[in-house]
Amino acid sequence: MKKRFLLILLIVSVSCKTETKQAIDTKQDVVNSEFKYAKGFSITSTENFNILTIKNPWPNSEKTYKYALIHRNMLPIITLNAEEFDGIIATPVEKLVVTSTTHIPALELLGIEQTLVGFPGTDYISSERTRTLIDNGSIRELGKNEGINTEVLLELQPEVVVGFGIDGNNKTFETIKKSGIPVIYNGDWVETSPLAKAEWIKFFGVLFNKEKEADSIFKAIEKDYLDAKKLASTVKSKPTVLSGAMHKDVWYLPSGTSPEAQLLKDANVDYLWQEVSSEGSLALSFEAVFTKAKTANLWISPSYYNSLDALAEANEHYTQFDAFKNNSIYSFVNSTGATGGVSYYEEGTTRPDLVLKDLIKICHPELLDNYQPYFFKPLK
């Protein structure tokens, strides 16, 4: 009797220590996320895992990507049909590679920048926090974005690569995927409003099981933005604004439906092309711009030119604008990090509240007495 009892106890003990994989029905009850602004991705929560869907990875994309995000403690006991997903990822992610400086601020705001192990073009990163990780060797250089050094990347063995695509044709990403490392396309840059771009912090939140933190951070940014917009709406006088500059024989400037024009509208200024709709930038002749904007009060973001002399040397006709004559030209290109990275290109997407307050300070300085512009400075 005693031997029989010991045998039963042994069987029970062994069975308790054996984890049995269970097949999960991916059509079980789900809860869909609701984003206020962002349209390019969604998060679906099921009882056992999350589904991240990228709906608009690049302009006019007909491809949708779907990823299963499973807590790493559950990964050994859950079986999914891999063919249903473009990747199955353990969360919270412990090692990743991102490929755009716009991804860096979200990592820092969530306090997870230490998970970044590689980046193509580290000199473009301006943040001091992340630069410290680069300088001490925690983040490896991966070469150029157009041709990532896959040998180094595979050596790092990240759990996921966050990329972006212009049209979906990226041989490097295909090589990475074939090695078993999921590539997730981040489409924040395709969004059509500043707050929609900023809401992509929730994309990183779900990868690191920090959904609540991401939501809280975004709400703070949204409130700051909307408060600034409301403040700007109180002014009665609107300065006229010109933007962009010539490239070869074409003057490129934001269309009235662009995020840049939305920021100018929310700053309550008279952007001279506010009513012109276009999916991309407007491409105009010098004569068309000069006729409309010769007397504009302000010239904001004159392409990559970093001084009045640089503008004049590039095209002497720029000096004929009143904004040039009155030293009323403002740009973000002179706000850089230690290795020359432009901070606007890094933080502007995640912090549209700071961009908007910069514009309000420039256009309505009386509204923000003690505010020092974060990105924009007058050209000298």
pLDDT tens, position by position, 119-160 = 999 999 999 999 999 999 999 999 987 789 999 999 999 999
Let me know if domain 236-378 sits in CATH 3.40.50.1980.
Answer: yes
Using CA atoms, how far apart are residues 353 and 272, in angstroms rounded to an integer? 23
pLDDT value of position 278: 82
Structure tokens at 92: 């919270």
Over 60: is that where the pLDDT of 7 sits? no
CB 25 within 8 A of CB 80: no
pLDDT value of position 32: 66
pLDDT value of position 48: 87
Read off the pLDDT band of 27 (50, 70, 90): low
Domain with CATH 3.40.50.1980 in the chain: 22-221, 236-378
Using CA atoms, how far apart are residues 210 and 205, in angstroms rounded to an integer? 4
pLDDT value of position 16: 41
pLDDT tens, position by position, 59-78 = 988 889 999 999 999 888 88
pLDDT tens, position by position, 73-114 = 988 888 888 889 999 999 999 999 999 999 999 999 999 999
Lowest mean pLDDT among 11-20, 46-55, 274-283: 11-20
Over 50: is that where the pLDDT of 8 sits? no
Read off the pLDDT band of 10 (50, 70, 90): very low
CB 223 within 8 A of CB 198: no
pLDDT value of position 309: 97
Over 90: is that where the pLDDT of 194 sits? yes
The CATH number assigned to the domain with range 22-221 reads: 3.40.50.1980
